[in-house]
Amino acid sequence: MITGIYPGSFDPVTFGHLDVIKRAAAMTDRLIVGVLKNNGKTPLFSTDERVNMLQEVTGDLSNVEVVSFSGLLVDFARENNVSVIVRGLRAVTDFEYELMMAQTNRVMEPSIDTIFLSTSLDYAYLSSSMVKEIATYGGDISKFVPSVTAKRIYDKINQN
Ligand code: PNS
């Protein structure tokens, strides 16, 4: 039984994240999508909102669970019998930080490995920050996030 975790901020989830989730879910028996609670950044969406948005768009994937976590990823992974951490790599600019995280996590918990999925070319440029910026200026984000998520982003931005 292989349990994987795909951790991140997901503020908000994009088609790039969804692509990684679907591919990782096909490779694991159980995939936990782990939403980090307090990472020093000030998120647009609360943790619960980010979890709910992810649940909305992964409801059709039977082996995927969305949960939030705080503290060290390796501690949360250990508590949930995770054997593999999944991260998406968009471009070479992601690589240095991702490699450093993977190596640090492996020193802290040698039994858990990190695997990297190269993001599909369609989403290689995509980031949550860019989606938020486009939405702030009233731009069309329908090519970047699911329609239910787009609605929540516009609603949130209009509230602020
Ligand atoms: O989507 P992000 O913001 O790039 O995700 C970063 C995340 C959540 C994977 C990373 O910040 C993380 O794992 N934080 C938990 C705290 C931790 O374990 N830090 C040590 C990692 S070397």
Please tell me if the CB atom of residue 73 comes closer than 6 angstroms to any atom of ligand 1.
yes
Tell me the pLDDT tens digit for each residue of 35-74: 999 767 799 999 999 999 999 999 999 999 999 999 999 9
Three-state SS at 156? helix
State how far the Cα of 86 lies from the Cα of 106, in Å rounded to an integer: 13
Tell me the pLDDT tens digit for each residue of 65-112: 999 999 999 999 999 999 999 999 998 889 999 999 999 999 999 999
Q: Which residues are catalytic?
A: 17, 41, 90, 128
Please tell me if the CB atom of residue 38 comes closer than 6 angstroms to any atom of ligand 1.
no
DSSP H stretches of helix in the chain:
15-27, 47-58, 73-79, 92-108, 128-136, 147-159
CA of 135 to the centre of ligand 1 (A): 25
Model pTM score: 0.97
CA of 71 to the centre of ligand 1 (A): 9
Q: What tokens were used for 39?
A: 């990472």
Q: What tokens were used for 13?
A: 């989830």
Please tell me if the CB atom of residue 39 comes closer than 6 angstroms to any atom of ligand 1.
yes
pLDDT of residue 33: 99
